[in-house]
Amino acid sequence: MIDQLSHMVAEFFVFNAKHPVIFTEISFWIFFTFVYAIFTVIHKQYTLRNLFLFLISVFFYYKTSGFFFGLLLFTIANEYWVAIVLERSQKNLKRKLLVLYSILINIGLLCYFKYAYFFTDSYNQIFHTQHQVINHFAHWSNGFFNTRFNVDKILLPVGISFYTFHTLSYTIEVYRRKMSAVNNFFDFGFYVAFFPVLLAGPIVKAKDFIPQLRQPFKLNQYQFGLAWFMIINGLIKKLVIGDYIAINFIDRVFGNPMLFSGVENVLAVIGYSLQVYLDFSGYTDIAIGVALLMGYKIKTNFNSPYKAQSVAEFWKRWHISLSTWLQEYLYIPLGGNRQGTFASYLIIAVLTAFIALLLDASFILWIVGAIALILAILAKLSEKVKHAVNTNINLMVTMLLGGLWHGATLNFIIWGGLNGLGLVIYKFWKKISPYQSLKSLPVRFWKITITFLFISFTRIYFRAEDMNQANEVIFKMFGDTHWGILPDILYNFREVFILMGIAFIVHWLPIEIKWSYKKAFIKLPAWGKVLVLIATCICIYQTMSSEMKPFIYFQF
């Protein structure tokens, strides 16, 4: 018995790719119980508290990503040093070079791990070579430390996109002199690596979180109840509904769209819009709840996005931390809605070449070039055209780069481009729409429906594994749709659609009703909260499949 226990303890401290320490694993809650017990003892000693949470966050990352924790430590050390030098430096040129160095290092590492295969394939296409991707980090480690990493494959470190944005926001704010550099390395490391938000967000801006590093721990009854409500809500979203509808319907259809009817493809697309929301918002709900139990406040990342009455409103409600980050650190510096800059047009040119390489189709360059020439001529002849181009190009650039942030495939670029196009069209439409100022229920219903269907359509490219699969789904949706079979489909997958119906109803409930049952839970005595938690665990056990689905945004 003692030997078994010691073996289990030893196993817990070793990385196992099959059993990462994530919110949906019991191992995480054992881990968090241990962390919280120590935290409650040392929380008044700020330096010790931050050191402990930093070390435990690095260990958490090791348990989910293996030796990629070394990359995390490098990023932390590099940005800590850059910010210290930035703050002390008075020379403008030196400060610009430092922030440029920071951006290049961060974006360079992100591009290496996310886009190495694309760049290698593109180089081979252009120069007719046959170069293979080599993992230089693995090669270096094998040479110096005698490790045995695979040098022929580059794995994407979980969470790299999120902690890269954490560090960039910090360095840029120090460069702008809107905040001071953190003098304690472990304090800064704790901010970057804070384990609840490390893997899939929300993206935490330095100016929002760093002021909390040395604040006293406070957790009143309301905050305690709210934290547990968020955790339970997130687990239900992900495990009880999201995973169930994915495994039992959505994944089957997207796995082979041509085997299913057009109606089933339509329902799978709508279902995926629900699944990706439940999955991602479920993760962030749990992350916010866990952070709140330790006294740290993380901003809301989702605000009932499918209540949006326009594409513009949707992006103010969906993945708010990414939308605001892109707005503050990309869209506005490029010129915002005032004018396009040289950087704006350069990015459009690079992205055009990028798409042409993905499709191996040089004619795209000629088409875009012709469109650009026509717009340039019209802009010279008309101030209105010039203003329209200048005020909307940055919107398109931001959404295209947002798509590229998710992955170096044509699917994601089209997804970002469609959303950018939707935003631009809406800007013009709202000026002439006869319904813009109407608030009646039928008009609101119509706006919400159109917005939801448009967002769901763009998600085909987000979900599909490649363009062929996306095209198959679209073909079935529009070419083989016989709605007479809908009752049979609803009956055959009744459990799936009952859960989907419940989820949509709850999502569209008025905020007052949502707050009423949220407050009711918060006011419950401790034993009442425990009963709700036990009931949730039973529901999870009853609905959980043996196939554990990772959080969707872990791949980004």
pLDDT confidence tier of residue 537, bands split at 50, 70 and 90: confident
Return the ∠ at Cα 158 (arms to 155 and 160), rounded to 5°: 95
| 531-556: average pLDDT | 77
| 449-469: average pLDDT | 93
The pTM assigned to this predicted structure is 0.89
| 252-272: average pLDDT | 93
What is residue 227's predicted lDDT score, i.e. its pLDDT? 94
> Cα(437)–Cα(440) distance, rounded to whole angstroms?
10
pLDDT confidence tier of residue 56, bands split at 50, 70 and 90: very high
Percentage of the chain modeled with pLDDT above 70: 85
Q: Position 229: which residue type?
A: F
pLDDT tens sequence across 207-236: 899 999 989 998 999 999 999 999 999 999
| 167-192: average pLDDT | 93
Asked whether the predicted pLDDT for residue 240 surpasses 70, the reply is: yes
pLDDT confidence tier of residue 428, bands split at 50, 70 and 90: confident
Asked whether the predicted pLDDT for residue 73 surpasses 90, the reply is: yes
What is residue 160's predicted lDDT score, i.e. its pLDDT? 87
Kindly report the average pLDDT of the chain as a whole number. 85
pLDDT tens sequence across 492-516: 999 999 999 999 999 999 999 999 9
| 183-203: average pLDDT | 91
What is residue 128's predicted lDDT score, i.e. its pLDDT? 75
pLDDT tens sequence across 137-166: 666 666 665 656 666 666 778 888 889 999
Asked whether the predicted pLDDT for residue 9 surpasses 70, the reply is: no
What is residue 483's predicted lDDT score, i.e. its pLDDT? 85
Weakest mean pLDDT among 115-124, 164-173, 417-426: 115-124
Domain regions of the chain by residue span: 2-217, 221-302+465-556, 305-432
What is residue 348's predicted lDDT score, i.e. its pLDDT? 75
- Strand ranges, E, within 411-535: none
Q: Which of 151-165, 197-211, 268-282, 357-371 has the highest mean pLDDT?
A: 268-282
Report in angstroms the alpha-carbon separations of 121 from 47, 97, 112, 358.
48, 32, 13, 9
What is residue 63's predicted lDDT score, i.e. its pLDDT? 87
DSSP state of 385: H
For residue 480, give every residue at least 6 positions away whose Cβ sits within 8 Å of its Cβ, in sequence order, or none: 261, 262
> Cα(460)–Cα(259) distance, rounded to whole angstroms?
17
Where is pLDDT greater, at 375 or 468?
Answer: 468
pLDDT confidence tier of residue 136, bands split at 50, 70 and 90: low
pLDDT tens sequence across 14-26: 666 666 778 888 8
What is residue 271's predicted lDDT score, i.e. its pLDDT? 96
| 358-378: average pLDDT | 61
DSSP assignment of 37-84 equals: HHHHHHTT-HHHHHHHHHHHHHHHHHHHHGGGHHHHHHHHHHHHHHHH
For residue 517, give every residue at least 6 positions away whose Cβ sits within 8 Å of its Cβ, in sequence order, or none: none
What is residue 338's predicted lDDT score, i.e. its pLDDT? 73
pLDDT tens sequence across 379-392: 666 777 666 777 77
Asked whether the predicted pLDDT for residue 536 surpasses 80, the reply is: yes
Q: Position 216: which residue type?
A: P
* Spatial CA neighbour of 160 closest among 190, 198, 117: 198
| 339-357: average pLDDT | 72
| 457-463: average pLDDT | 93
pLDDT confidence tier of residue 357, bands split at 50, 70 and 90: low
Asked whether the predicted pLDDT for residue 275 surpasses 90, the reply is: yes
Where is pLDDT greater, at 408 or 260?
Answer: 260
Report in angstroms the alpha-carbon separations of 485 from 4, 185, 259, 268, 498.
56, 62, 15, 15, 18
Asked whether the predicted pLDDT for residue 3 surpasses 60, the reply is: no
| 56-67: average pLDDT | 88
What is residue 402's predicted lDDT score, i.e. its pLDDT? 87
| 35-62: average pLDDT | 94
Q: Which of 12-26, 30-44, 421-435 has the highest mean pLDDT?
A: 30-44
pLDDT tens sequence across 280-302: 999 999 999 999 999 999 999 99
| 351-380: average pLDDT | 63
* Spatial CA neighbour of 249 closest among 553, 460, 497, 544: 497
Asked whether the predicted pLDDT for residue 7 surpasses 60, the reply is: no
> Cα(45)–Cα(270) distance, rounded to whole angstroms?
50
Asked whether the predicted pLDDT for residue 1 surpasses 70, the reply is: no
